[in-house]
Amino acid sequence: MIESINKKSSINIMKNVLLFLKPFKGKIAVIFISIIIISGLEAYLPVMQKIAIDDFILRGSTQGINLFLMKYMGISMSLLILIYVFISFGGKVEMSLVYSLREKAFEKLQYQSFSYFDTNADGWIMARMTSDITKIGEIVAWGFVDMIWSIGFLSGILIMMFKLNYKLALVLIFLLPILIAISIYFQTKILRTQRDVRKINSLISGAYNEGILGAKTSKVLVNEEKNTHAFENLTSRMNRTSVRAAMITALYLPMIIGLNSIGLVAVLGIGNNFILNEIISIGTLVLFINYTIMFFDPIKEFSRVFSEMQSAHASFERVLELIHSDLEIKDSKEIIEKYGDICEKKIHNWEKIDGHVEFKNVNFGYHNGEPILENFNLKISSGETIALVGETGSGKSTIVNLACRFYEPTEGSVLIDGIDYRERSQSWLHNNLGYVLQTPHLFSGSIKDNISYGRREAAFEEIIGAAKLVKAHDFIVKFTHGYDTEVGEGGNNLSTGQKQLISFARAILKNPSIFILDEATSSIDAESEKVIQDATDILLHGRTSFIIAHRLSTIINADRILVIKDGKILEEGGHSFLMGKKGAYFTLYTRQFTQDEESKLMS
């Protein structure tokens, strides 16, 4: 059962690989032909020795030796050229394949929705993009080359032997299946133990790291003995596995050499008899001896590649899974036709967004199934500022993410300007969204690039204008390179407040119809908070906005405040209305207010 599934997926994988190799079929043909010729020539070279012995040395003649030498030179030169050709073409195929796989995978990731990244950890995706794809490139470009070579070389040797003397050839044919079986068995074992060694090794370095970094904690918690014990366990496992790996390698070679010797003895014994009876020449016997010794090389290569391909099977599967994964949020064909997709936006067909948002009987749960929103209804008129407050985990971000179509309702619908957003394209909505997150993300590059990230075509004056609006201009021009200052990886050269202001400038430059602030002010000191508060007021003006704020003082001016609890609206209304009601909002607000006063008094 398992076998047949495996076979099916192998065929499936082969089909896919062939599909990816299609653009390089010219180069692959060249490689294939060169390798076939190379293996043929290599199998033929020992025949030249036989000719030298039989026709020149034993006969003591030099007649025709010039032609012979020229032929020898010709073969050697052809080999050199062909080897150059296949190595350079193989390298090209490897690189192009790796490139196209990465491009495909990357493109797929660009289309994937938030929920995809919930269920697939970043580390998992990174490993697919790097080590798995590299492995596939290697195996496809060089593994197949080695396989073709070993098959070609072995066939060449066998053909020559049968041509010269089939009885002697039969002696070696007997050894062939035994050699192949032993080689595949051992090569697979060797590969597996090597992989175990690597795995345990990374566990050891992990434990080592933890042991050092967590040394103080262990001491305080009196856990040293347990840690040491666990570490000892790992190292002794490592010891056992390494010894096993060495043992297997140590067994494999003598076995092969032993089989080879049996072959040699047989060839020598029978061959001697044949020479005495003048059935074969001395040169032919020498040739057979050479072939017997060479026999082992292609078989070793073949079984090595064979076992490597089996282990690469998993890499193939994982990468194909990534490339062929379904998009969880997808625009229909008709919609892409009209509105375009991420890469090709048909902006001329896009309706302008007024900013009227409505949740209509929305049900929603994440992958793990638990319902977060049930029959959720909410109407927001265009230009309205809505604040969402409530405890962590109450569902504020979920509501906002649904409004942005980062996730879609499982039941019910979200209407933008009265129409279900699934009847328009994702990029239509996303192009009109401004989103500032709690931890702003900047991309490595200049400040200028980061501000214009959502609108590449913006003029420099517009970028400066946006920065001035959110009061980021002053600190930007203080840098020696001004707007060309590199922000570093993830914006690490800037403070959190500065990063936040730049992401505000980025949002405002896009001039979005709908604006979202998800706890954007929670990780900032009081002074930056004031600046950001002003920036927010400017940003919100004239657009539909959702603000999720930790600090309730920042949302007093919102048109409507929603208190969210367990995915439901507990209370709603303006600040003074809710304060007058003396309900949940009143409690939240007064609690925070007294806490603030207390901490002010303390400091």
Ligand X SMILES: Nc1ncnc2c1ncn2[C@@H]1O[C@H](COP(=O)(O)OP(=O)(O)O)[C@@H](O)[C@H]1O
User: Rounded to the nearest whole angstrom, what is the least distance from the CB of residue 402 to ligand X in the complex?
Assistant: 9
Q: Residue 394, interface with Mg ion (CB under 5 A)?
A: no
**CB proximity list for 284: less than 8 A, separation 6 or greater:** 50, 54, 164, 165, 271
Q: Which is nearer to ligand X, 368 or 480 (CB)?
A: 368
Among the listed ranges 60-68, 170-178, 233-241, 391-399, the one in contact with Mg ion (CB under 5 A) is 391-399
* Amino acid letter, residue 83: I
Q: Using H for helix, E for strand and C for coil, what is the string for 543-566? A: CEEEEECCCHHHHCCCCEEEEEEC
Give residue 26's Cα distance to chain centre.
Answer: 28
**Alpha carbons 40 and 162: distance in angstroms, whole number:** 15
**Alpha carbons 402 and 114: distance in angstroms, whole number:** 11
Query: Tokens representing 96?
Result: 């192009």
Give residue 498's Cα distance to chain centre.
Answer: 31
User: Rounded to the nearest whole angstrom, what is the least distance from the CB of residue 439 to ligand X in the complex?
Assistant: 14
Number of CB atoms found within 10 A of residue 55's CB: 17
Q: Which of residues 264-293 bind Mg ion (CB under 5 A)?
A: none
Query: Which does residue 187 touch among Mg ion, ligand X, none (CB within 5 to 8 A, set by kind)?
Result: none
Q: Which is nearer to ligand X, 202 or 392 (CB)?
A: 392
**CB proximity list for 48: less than 8 A, separation 6 or greater:** 68, 71, 72, 75
Q: Residue 398, interface with Mg ion (CB under 5 A)?
A: no
Q: Which is nearer to Mg ion, 370 or 527 (CB)?
A: 370
Binding site for ligand X (CB under 6 A): 118, 366, 368, 372, 390, 392-398
User: Rounded to the nearest whole angstrom, what is the least distance from the CB of residue 548 to Mg ion in the complex?
Assistant: 6
Query: Which does residue 142 touch among Mg ion, ligand X, none (CB within 5 to 8 A, set by kind)?
Result: none
Q: Which is nearer to Mg ion, 464 or 520 (CB)?
A: 520
Give residue 470's Cα distance to chain centre.
Answer: 37
Query: Which does residue 118 touch among Mg ion, ligand X, none (CB within 5 to 8 A, set by kind)?
Result: ligand X
Query: Which does residue 185 touch among ligand X, Mg ion, none (CB within 5 to 8 A, set by kind)?
Result: none
HSE at residue 433, side-chain half, CA atoms within 13 A, is 20
Q: Which is nearer to Mg ion, 397 or 426 (CB)?
A: 397
* Amino acid letter, residue 160: M
Among the listed ranges 53-61, 79-87, 143-151, 395-403, the one in contact with Mg ion (CB under 5 A) is 395-403
User: Rounded to the nearest whole angstrom, what is the least distance from the CB of residue 404 to ligand X in the complex?
Assistant: 13
Q: Which is nearer to Mg ion, 397 or 452 (CB)?
A: 397
User: Rounded to the nearest whole angstrom, what is the least distance from the CB of residue 83 to ligand X in the complex?
Assistant: 54
User: Rounded to the nearest whole angstrom, what is the least distance from the CB of residue 555 to ligand X in the complex?
Assistant: 14
Query: Which does residue 395 touch among ligand X, Mg ion, none (CB within 5 to 8 A, set by kind)?
Result: ligand X
Q: Which is nearer to ligand X, 244 or 550 (CB)?
A: 550
* Amino acid letter, residue 537: D
User: Rounded to the nearest whole angstrom, what is the least distance from the CB of residue 393 to ligand X in the complex?
Assistant: 4
Query: Which does residue 480 touch among Mg ion, ligand X, none (CB within 5 to 8 A, set by kind)?
Result: none
Q: Which is nearer to ligand X, 217 or 377 (CB)?
A: 377
**CB proximity list for 89: less than 8 A, separation 6 or greater:** 27, 30, 31, 34
Query: Which does residue 576 touch among Mg ion, ligand X, none (CB within 5 to 8 A, set by kind)?
Result: none
Query: Which does residue 372 touch among ligand X, Mg ion, none (CB within 5 to 8 A, set by kind)?
Result: ligand X
User: Rounded to the nearest whole angstrom, what is the least distance from the CB of residue 518 to Mg ion in the complex?
Assistant: 6
**Alpha carbons 253 and 257: distance in angstroms, whole number:** 6
**Alpha carbons 507 and 521: distance in angstroms, whole number:** 15
Among the listed ranges 39-47, 157-165, 275-283, 390-398, the one in contact with Mg ion (CB under 5 A) is 390-398
Q: Which is nearer to Mg ion, 97 or 400 (CB)?
A: 400
Query: Which does residue 393 touch among ligand X, Mg ion, none (CB within 5 to 8 A, set by kind)?
Result: ligand X
Q: Residue 397, interface with Mg ion (CB under 5 A)?
A: yes
**CB proximity list for 553: less than 8 A, separation 6 or greater:** 592
Query: Which does residue 366 touch among Mg ion, ligand X, none (CB within 5 to 8 A, set by kind)?
Result: ligand X
Residue reference for tokens 């040797």 = 157
**Alpha carbons 285 and 85: distance in angstroms, whole number:** 34
Q: Which is nearer to ligand X, 101 or 402 (CB)?
A: 402
User: Rounded to the nearest whole angstrom, what is the least distance from the CB of residue 453 to ligand X in the complex?
Assistant: 24
Name the region of 297 (left: φ>0; alpha: ψ -120 to 50; beta: rest). alpha
HSE at residue 430, side-chain half, CA atoms within 13 A, is 16
User: Rounded to the nearest whole angstrom, what is the least distance from the CB of residue 562 to ligand X in the complex?
Assistant: 11
The 411-416 sheet, strands edge to edge: 371-380, 357-365, 411-416, 419-420
State the number of binding residues for Mg ion (CB under 5 A): 1
Q: Which is nearer to ligand X, 68 or 114 (CB)?
A: 114
Query: Which does residue 392 touch among ligand X, Mg ion, none (CB within 5 to 8 A, set by kind)?
Result: ligand X
Q: Which is nearer to Mg ion, 112 or 397 (CB)?
A: 397
Evaluate whether 496 touches 523 at the Cβ level (below 8 Å): yes
Q: Which of residues 116-135 bind Mg ion (CB under 5 A)?
A: none
Burial of 61 (C-beta count, 10 Å sphere; 0-12/13-18/19+): exposed
User: Rounded to the nearest whole angstrom, what is the least distance from the CB of residue 371 to ligand X in the complex?
Assistant: 10
| Element spanning 508, H or E | helix 496-509
| Element spanning 389, H or E | strand 385-389
User: Rounded to the nearest whole angstrom, what is the least distance from the CB of residue 514 to ligand X in the complex?
Assistant: 18
Binding positions for Mg ion, rule: CB under 5 A: 397
